[in-house]
């Protein structure tokens, strides 16, 4: 099994070296597909511009999925979750395998849209520019969003955090859910950061997009733990060379071994078949939705 996986990795990596020409990059669309999941070929500066635009327009509740290999495999095994990703306003490549596939497809992607980096960069730049955006932190273990709030206030002088909440891990009752929606609406954030892990956070955003008056929702998963210093991040060189999975697996083997060993091997196998043209994956239905703000 290990030898088979190494062979697949080598075949996969050999295709990555076939970097696209400038002509291919110019003609490539702004998105590509991985196992039937649409990925937007974008980078952090472009994502931040889009978030600023959504906040300025304030005409809908937009949500963004920050997705890596794990999210792709969840969507592969769950058609409903695939539709959740297809309904997202942006699905950005948080994972070097997706960046490598994007390059093969003709996109000049320099690096991944790493959730913690996206969150910290957006907060720093908007605060430094004097854009008084209102932030709400939703997710993480008890105490984690409060720790994250302190970190952001120290790191991004001028940031305006209007609320934080750590929901219970069990399913919420309708009454509890309504209370949370009301709490968020009362805080009136411009951006709602969600740290519930994939696929829970994407499903939550999809279910609540028509119930909240929030211009932007972003699911950043482990960013809550990393930026609050609750968990250690992999060294930068590992993150930028597709080795973060190894670091995280060594930290939490009992929780992550299925995701990275079994799921990782399956992803490499299926992605290799797709890249070689040996298998085609159907896309989920991209439903048109225009979630307008409710009248206050």
Residue-wise pLDDT for 78-112, tens only, equals 999 999 999 999 999 999 999 999 999 999 999 99
CA–CA gap between residue 239 and residue 96 (Å, rounded): 8
Please state, rounded to an integer, the average pLDDT across all residues of the chain.
88
Torsion angles phi and psi, residue 193, rounded to 5:
-90, 130
Flag whether pLDDT at 235 surpasses 60: yes
- The pLDDT score that the predictor gives to residue 180 is 96
Q: What is the residue extent of each domain of the chain?
A: 29-237
* Residue 56, token pair as written in the block: 């300025």
Torsion angles phi and psi, residue 161, rounded to 5:
-95, 115
Flag whether pLDDT at 289 surpasses 50: no
Can you tell me the mean pLDDT for 28-47? 92
Flag whether pLDDT at 271 surpasses 90: yes
The helix/strand/coil state of 67 is: strand
CA–CA gap between residue 84 and residue 167 (Å, rounded): 21
Which conformational region is residue 233 in: left (phi greater than 0), alpha (psi within -120 to 50 degrees), or beta?
Answer: beta
The answer to which of 11-20, 25-34, 220-229 has the lowest mean pLDDT is: 11-20
Q: How much of the chain, in percent, has pLDDT values that exceed 90?
A: 81
CA–CA gap between residue 73 and residue 59 (Å, rounded): 32
- The pLDDT score that the predictor gives to residue 29 is 56
Write the pLDDT tens digit of every residue in 25-35.
Answer: 444 459 999 99
CA–CA gap between residue 75 and residue 96 (Å, rounded): 18
Confidence of residue 5 (pLDDT cuts 50, 70, 90): very low
- The pLDDT score that the predictor gives to residue 170 is 87
Task: Tell me the pairing of strands 37-40 and 31-34.
Answer: antiparallel
Assigned fold of 29-237? Rossmann fold (3.40.50)
Confidence of residue 77 (pLDDT cuts 50, 70, 90): very high
**Cα angle: 84, vertex 286, 224; to 5 degrees:** 30
- The pLDDT score that the predictor gives to residue 109 is 95
């Amino acid at each position: 099994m290990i030898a088979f996986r190494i062979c697949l990795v080598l075949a996969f990596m050999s295709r990555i070296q076939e970097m696209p020409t400038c002509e291919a990059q110019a003609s490539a669309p702004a998105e590509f597909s991985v196992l039937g999941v649409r990925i937007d070929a974008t980078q952090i500066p472009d994502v931040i511009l889009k978030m600023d635009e959504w906040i300025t327009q304030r005409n809908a509740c937009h949500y963004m999925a920050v997705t890596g290999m794990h999210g792709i495999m969840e969507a592969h095994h769950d058609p409903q979750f695939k539709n959740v990703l297809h309904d997202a306003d942006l699905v950005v490549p948080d994972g070097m395998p997706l960046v490598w596939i994007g390059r093969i497809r003709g996109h000049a992607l320099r690096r991944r849209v790493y959730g913690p980096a996206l969150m910290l960069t957006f907060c720093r730049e908007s605060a430094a520019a004097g854009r008084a955006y209102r932030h709400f932190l939703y997710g993480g273990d008890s105490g984690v969003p409060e720790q994250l709030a302190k970190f952001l206030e120290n790191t991004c002088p001028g940031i305006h955090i209007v609320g934080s909440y750590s929901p219970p891990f069990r399913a919420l009752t309708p009454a509890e859910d309504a209370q949370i929606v009301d709490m968020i609406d009362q805080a009136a954030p411009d951006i709602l950061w969600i740290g519930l892990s994939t696929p829970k956070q994407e499903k939550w955003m999809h279910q609540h997009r028509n119930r909240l008056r929030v211009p932007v929702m972003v699911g950043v998963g482990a960013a809550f733990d990393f930026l609050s210093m609750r968990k250690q991040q992999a060294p930068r060189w590992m993150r930028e060379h597709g080795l973060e999975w190894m670091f995280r697996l060594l930290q939490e083997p009992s929780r992550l071994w299925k995701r990275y060993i079994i799921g990782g091997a399956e992803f490499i196998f299926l992605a290799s078949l797709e890249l070689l043209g040996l298998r085609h994956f159907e896309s989920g239905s991209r439903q048109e939705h225009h979630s307008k703000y409710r009248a206050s």
